[in-house]
Structure formats: C-alpha cells, structure tokens
Structure 1
Amino acid sequence: MPDLPRPGTRVSLRYRLPAGSVPPLNDVVGHLLEREPVVRVRTKTGDTVEISPADVVTVRTLTDVPVKASQIRAVEHAAALGWPGLHREWLDGWLLRASDGYTHRGNSAVPLDINASAVTLPAIRDWYARRGLTPWLAVPDRLVRLPRDLTDAEIHLESIVMVRPLPAEPAQEVTLTAEPDTAWLTFYERDVPVEVLTAVVDGAVAFGRIDDAAVGRAAVTPAHDGTRWVGVSAVRVAEDRRRRGHARTLCAALLEWGARSGATHAYVQVLADNAGAIALYESMGFTAQHRERYVDASKL
C-alpha cells in the first residue's frame, strides 16, 4: 500500500473494487479521516468512503481546496517577506532566512520562484551549516518536488495556511504600535528578539495589545504578483482571559489596520493540530487554502 499522509489531509485515492467489477478501479477525492484499520475518506458532499488499506493503489496529496500553484506562491511570497529573518539570500528560486535560531519561520528556506527545485538542497545545507543552524525547509503544497515523499517522522511541524479577502469587519479600538513595547514583550513570553519581530521586507508591521488580555502581530507585504497581503501572527491570549472574545477583537483590529495599510487579502498560518485557532479564523471568514511542512534538509 502507498504511504498515506496525516489524517485531515485532502487526498485523491485510486483503489481496487471487488473482483469482477467493471471498471476494476475507482477514485475518491476528499479529506482523509483514518488510515487504519480501514482507510476512510470524507468527500465534499459529506459522504464517507471506506477502503481496505490493501486495496489502495495510488495516493496523491492535494491542497485543502482546489487552488492554482500561483495562488499558493502569492501567499507564501507575502508571508516570507512578512517574517524574513535577520539575514536572507535568494538562491536559485529559494529564499533562505536566518535569525540566529529564533523561530522556524525566521530560520528556514522556502521555494518561492517557479524554478525552485531540489537540486539546490546541497547549497541550502551548506548555507545553514556555515551559520551553525539546522537547514529547515518550509515546504508548501505543490511549489517544489523533493527527492522523495515525506513520512510522518520527517515532518517536524505542519501548518494550515488560511486566507480571506479584505476589507475586514469594523473593529473595536485596540492599542497598536509600530514596535512591541515592554508590556507586549512581557505578555508574549517567547524569547524572540525585537529585531526579529519587527523585520519585514517592502512592507509595514504593527503590534496589537488589549491591556493584559491579548497580544498579536500583523505585517503587510507584497506577493510576487503585486497584490498586498496582511498576515496575522504571534497571537497570545492570557489563560484566565480566554473564551471572552479577546482574540477575535485583536485579530479584527489587526486586519482593519492591514486594510488601511493597503492590503486586499489576509492570511494566517496555523499549526494543523490547533483546532481552537482554526475554528476562530473560520468564524472570521478565513478558509484553509494549503499546507506547509517544516523538514530538516540534512535528512533528505
């Protein structure tokens, strides 16, 4: 049986029908629910198809919704410029980013040009080795073909990239600053230098805070096609202040700031297992577009 991706992934499966069936094979497209003991796939109509693992002939991983590669590239380009690290270099269609090890996004190579390929992997490994860093690759759906398919063990982190058009809904007043102040940094808690948080290329950044309840970051940057996107990230809500609408209020204010700053679309990158954040963004009009996986290039 071919290797199956993680449950939740949208797939196209070809499988064998019972002996004597005409035709002998069938196809199903939908979200993978289970891999064993029975392969279960939910289609867009809501039906569930159950298949014996031994009958699976081929499997192809798809984006979460039908989308062109150029649309994925646009979001990834804007997102890379919105978290570009402290040092960066273009290499054969890849953008290599380094931030002294702070954050995966700021220390990973992402394929943004249509000509980016796995041929560049040795040079990417060398670039990060010279800096004493792990050569992380940020691998979006469909933008590059790696030497082989990834296994679960090789995927370090998996994010769902969600998008929506702007303008945003009217927002309540939230404190917005061009740099994170002491209160913002204290609340954020993560050990990320200010210069990493404020770095953007060809864009602008804002930091939002709701008193001692929530903080978040937004960056407006261009895609390769000239469209401008706002990306919301670094959202934190105090544990004792959750489920009171603070995250929604904060994100709405950051989106409104993005629209005022020239963005026409918005994106968020959410860990695939963060069901609460996914539900929040869905309620704000975001839809899952594609996935991005972090892998160690030294193991490929």
Structure 2
Amino acid sequence: MASLPPVGSRVSIRYRLPAGTTTPPLTDVIGELQAIDPVIVVRTKSDGLVEVSRADVMAVRELSVVPVRASEIRALEHAAALAWPGTEQSWQDGWLTRAAGGFTSRANSAVPLDFSATLAALPTIIDWYAERGLPPWLALPERLLPIRADGIKHTRVLVADLAEAEPDPSVTLMSQPDAGWLTTYERDVPAAVLTAVVDGEVVFASIGDAAVGRGAVTTAPDGTRWLGISAVRVGAEYRRQGHARQLCQALLAWGAQRGASRAYVQVLSENSGAILLYHALGFRLHHHHRYVDAVSLTGRSL
C-alpha cells in the first residue's frame, strides 16, 4: 500500500471496491484524513465519513489543504530562493541560477521564478553551471512548467500562518552560526552558504548542544513576508525529547517579530519524522517540488 500522510492531511485515495460491485472496480475519495488504523477514514464534503480498508488502497496523493494557484507557488518559491540563494546568483531568461560550490541542492540549482522561464534557457543554464564546475540541477516546483521528468529529492513544501508569541529564553538566537552550532549541525556546509540571504534577515537558533536550526525572513513578490525554517538538527542522544519542537517554536516567534505572516518548510517526502513534527506545529501541504538534471531535458520543448 502507498504510504499515508499524517492524520489531518487532505488526500485523494484511489481504492478497490468490494467484489461484485456493479460500478467500476476502482473509485476515488477526496477529503481530510481522519484515521489510518485499523481502517482509513476520510471526511468528505458531500458524503461525510468514508471508510476504506488499507488492503484496498491502490494510490494515495496528498493535496494542499486549500486550493493553491500557480501564482502562489511562484511567489512562495521566490521568497524561498531569496532565503537560500547560494553565494552567487544570476538571472537567466526567467530562471534564477544559484551556486555555492556544490554545497546543498537548494544553493546549487536553477529555479523558474519568472513567467518567461522555458526550456529554451537550458543551454544557457547548462553552460552557466559548467563554467563553475557544477552539474546543472533544476529545482522544479510543481505546476510552474509542464515537465514530466520524475527527478530526485521529492520534497513537500509545507506552510503555516504565524501568530505573535513570546520568545523562549532557553533558545539562543545568533546572527552567525558559532562553533557549537556548526558542531551540532554536523553537515559540511560553509558558514558563507548558511548565512547567505538576499533582501532578508537570517538567524541561527540553538538549545545548548542538543538542537540547532536556521530561520530566514524574506518577502515574496506579492508582498507576503515569509519565514523559512531550515537546517534543523537534533543530536542523536537528545532526540524524542521535544527539542526540535521547542526550537521551531522559537524560530516561529522570531519570524513573527520580524513581520512575517506565514512560514514554510521544505521537507524530503520520505522524512516522515520531520513531516509529523511540522504537522503537529500546524504546517500543511502547499505544493511539491523536485530536482531534475537539465541535461536530461535537452531536446524537449514545452
């Protein structure tokens, strides 16, 4: 059976009907996921509660909680690109190309942020990355370009509304990651990549040597101030003690103080633990995105 998102998610489930049913053997139900065990329960707008046996499920797709326009995806992705821009950026025919010596996928990929972006720009993008000795990865949010390539690192972009909250004095906030922060983070990412932000503010949060995280506030073209939470890491010996939740709540409070009205996180689809954490904090799916090698798309046309 396909994996299920957390309870409370909006889903589309295709499942088998009982044998002997006169209607087609497969049908779909769309609504809010209410339970997943022992049977799946979905609350629909028209039919109330619909129960589905887990054994009968053929496919599951998580949907945004409310309808999301392509323009809203583009605006959020623009704010997110400013919050993780790499150490070098350039506009190439509607695409924002970012480079940072190969450290992190987000900081070393091109994203189509302008309506003018098409596959016609791929040769230029490929050359731009080749000049820097980097592979030409494309960061492709769904619905912005009709590209069917499966790609890698399938990611959920989750969002939540922000409200004013009191800062947590037990969480340390810094403008730069110090040695302790970098040690807990554990990833080999230069400070110059972590601190990079375009037209925004960045902060580094820590709870002693137990947990760290990064927050960045940037403004989308539609005027929305977004807080992006990233680089959340909890030391192995401190996990399942509430540190990640505490740290994220401190970052949410910091973002609200900086004028952000909404927050987002970008989570790999297979990272079920992080998805459950952010879901508990009120985040819900906005859209999906993935990474595709630009070379694999050469020769195609929109």
Q: Which band: TM-score by shorter chain?
A: 0.7 to 0.9
Q: Is the 8 A contact 1:62 1:141 kept in 2?
A: no
Aligned-pair distance for 1:114?
A: 2.1
Corresponding letter in the other structure for 1:256:
A
1:159 is matched with 155
Q: How does 1:107-146 map to 2 (within 5 A)?
A: 107-146=108-147
1:164 counterpart SS class? strand
Are the aligned partners of 1:160 and 1:291 in contact in 2 as well (CA < 8 Å)? yes
Structure 2 segments unaligned to the other structure (5+ residues): 6-10, 15-21, 32-39, 45-49, 298-302
User: Which SS does the other structure have where 1:101 is aligned?
Assistant: coil
Count of residue correspondences: 275
Aligned counterpart for 2:257 among listed residues 253, 257, 260: 260
Deviation at 1:141, TM superposition (A): 1.1
What TM-score results when the alignment is normalised by the length of structure 1?
0.81
Q: Secondary structure at the match of 1:247?
A: helix
Matches within 5 A, 1:70-219: 70-146=71-147, 149-151=148-150, 155-173=151-169, 174-219=171-216
- Cα distance in 2, alignment partners of residues 29 and 95 from structure 1: 38
Aligned CA distance change for structure 1 residues 290 and 100 (closer, same or farther; 3 Å): same
TM-score (normalizing by structure 2): 0.80
Q: C-alpha offsets along residues 30-87 of structure 1, whole Å, 9 cap, x if unaligned? A: 49xxxxxxxxx9966355499999xxxxx9x885342111111121111100000011
> Counterpart in 1 of 2:220?
223
Between the aligned partners of 2:62 and 2:246, the Cα distance in structure 1 is 33
Q: Deviations over 1:141-189 (max 9, x none)?
A: 111122xx223xxx22011000011125444221000000011011111
Question: 1:179–1:198: 8 Å Cα contact kept in structure 2?
Answer: yes
Whole-angstrom distance in 2 between the partners of 1:70 and 1:183: 40
Alpha-carbon contact 2:164-2:257 (below 8 Å) kept: no
- Whether contact under 8 Å (2:94, 2:113) holds in the other structure is yes
**Relative to structure 2, which stretch is displaced further, 126-135 or 231-240?**
126-135
1:83–1:200 CA contact under 8 A, matched in 2:
yes
Percent of matched pairs sharing the same residue: 53
- Superposition deviation, residue 270 in structure 1: 0.6
For residues 129 and 43 of structure 2, the distance between their equivalents in structure 1, rounded to whole angstroms, comes to 42
Aligned residue identity for 2:163: P
Coordinate RMSD, CA, aligned? 3.1
Do the aligned partners of 1:117 and 1:145 also contact (CA within 8 Å) in 2? no
Aligned to 2:64: 64
SS in 1 for 2:117: coil
The separation in 2 between residues aligned to 1:124 and 1:12, in whole angstroms, is: 38
Which moves more between the two structures, 233-242 or 167-176? Answer: 167-176
Alpha-carbon distance change, 239 to 25 in structure 1, aligned in 2, over 3 angstroms: closer
Structure 1 residues 62, 215: closer, same or farther in 2, change over 3 A? closer
Query: Deviation of residue 274 (structure 1)?
Result: 0.8
Counterpart amino acid of residue 157 in structure 1? K
Cα distance in 2 for residues equivalent to 1:129 and 1:30:
45
Contact 1:161 1:288 in 2 (8 A): yes
How far did 1:12 drift? 9.5
